[in-house]
Amino acid sequence: MRRPLLALLVLAAGCASRGASPAARCADAPGVRCIVAGPHYAANPALRWLLGDDWRDVWTTPAPIPILDLAETAGGLSPVRVVGNFQSQGLALAGGDGRSYTFRSTDKDASRHLGAPLRWVPFLARAYRDQTAAAHPAAPVVAAPIARAAGVLQPEPRLVVLPDDPRLGEFRARFAGRLGTFEEYPTPSADGGAGSFGAREIVSTEELLERLERNPAESVDAAAYLRARLVDLVLGDVDRHPGNWRWARLAGDGPWLPVAEDRDLAFARFGGLLIGAARPVYPILASYDSEFEIARLVHQARATDPRLLAPLPREAWREAAAAVQAALPARVVAEAVARMPAPWFEQGGPELEALLRARIERLGDAADAFYLRLAAEPEIHATAAREEVSLQIADSDAVDVTVRAEGIDEPVFERRFLSPETEVVRLCGFVPPDRVTVEVAAAVGSRPSFQVLERCEPARPIAPPGAESADAGEDDD
CA distance 467 to 275: 14
Report which DSSP code applies to 185: -
Is the confidence at residue 14, as pLDDT, over 60? Answer: no
- Give the pLDDT score at 108: 84
pLDDT category at 280 given cuts 50, 70, 90 is: confident
Nearest to 378 by CA among 413, 354, 407, 348: 413
> Does one domain contain both 412 and 428?
yes
Whether residues 147 and 219 share a domain: the answer is: yes
Which domain-ending residue is among 325, 357, 375?
375
Are 353 and 337 spatial neighbours (Cβ–Cβ below 8 Å)?
yes
pLDDT 10s digits, 109-149: 765 555 555 555 566 667 778 889 999 999 999 999 999 99
pLDDT of residue 446 exceeding 70:
no
The domain boundary, picked from 375, 400, 432, lies at 375
> Span 154-161, mean pLDDT?
97
Compute the average pLDDT of residues 254-270.
Answer: 95
In this structure, the answer to whether residues 100 and 241 fall within a common structural domain is yes
pLDDT given for residue 441 in this prediction: 72
Q: Torsions phi, psi of 80, nearest 5? A: -110, -55
Q: Which residues touch 137 (CB under 8 Å, ≥6 apart)?
A: 37, 38, 55, 58, 59, 106, 107, 179, 344
Domain co-membership, 295 together with 388: no
More confidently predicted of 438 and 324: 324
In angstroms, rounded to a whole number, what is the distance separating the alpha carbons of residues 352 and 333? 10
Structural domain contains residue 111: yes
| One domain, residues 123 and 36 | yes
Mean pLDDT estimate for the chain: 86
- pLDDT at position 398, please? 86
> Please, are residues 247 and 220 in contact by the beta-carbon 8 Å criterion?
yes
d(CA 389, CA 405): 9
- For 345, phi then psi, to 5°, come to -60, -40
Given CA atoms 159, 165, 171, 175 in this order, what sign does their dihedral have?
positive
Q: What is the pLDDT of residue 451?
A: 57
pTM: 0.88
Question: Residue 11: its pLDDT value, please?
Answer: 46
Residues 6+ apart with CB under 8 A from 350: none
Contacts of 259 (CB under 8 A, 6+ apart): 153, 154, 186, 197, 202, 245, 246, 247, 248
Q: Residue 465 domain-assigned?
A: no
Distance CA 417, CA 392 (A): 10
Domain end residue (candidates: 322, 344, 375): 375
Q: Do the domain assignments include residue 447?
A: yes
pLDDT of 475 above 60: no
Q: What's the pLDDT score for residue 51?
A: 85
Whether 394 and 360 share a structural domain:
no
Write out the residue range of the structural domain in which residue 82 sits: 2-375
| Assigned domain for 314 exists | yes
Asked whether the predicted pLDDT for residue 251 surpasses 90, the reply is: no
Does residue 458 lie in a domain region? no
Q: Can you tell me whether residue 292 is helix, strand or coil?
A: coil
Does residue 236 form part of some domain? yes
Reported as a single tens digit per residue, the pLDDT across 86-95 is 567 899 999 9
62-66, 80-84, 367-371, 402-406: segment of lowest average pLDDT: 80-84
Looking at the structure of the chain, the number of domains it has is 2
Indicate if 337 and 201 belong to the same structural domain.
Answer: yes
Give which of 147, 144, 148, 138 is closest to 180, Cα–Cα: 138
461 occurs within a structural domain: no
- Distance between CA atoms of 470 and 463, rounded to whole angstroms? 7
Same domain, 251 and 185: yes
* Stretch 433-449: mean pLDDT: 73
Residues 191-238 pLDDT 10s: 777 899 999 999 999 999 999 999 999 999 999 999 999 999 999 999
pLDDT greater at residue 14 or residue 222: 222
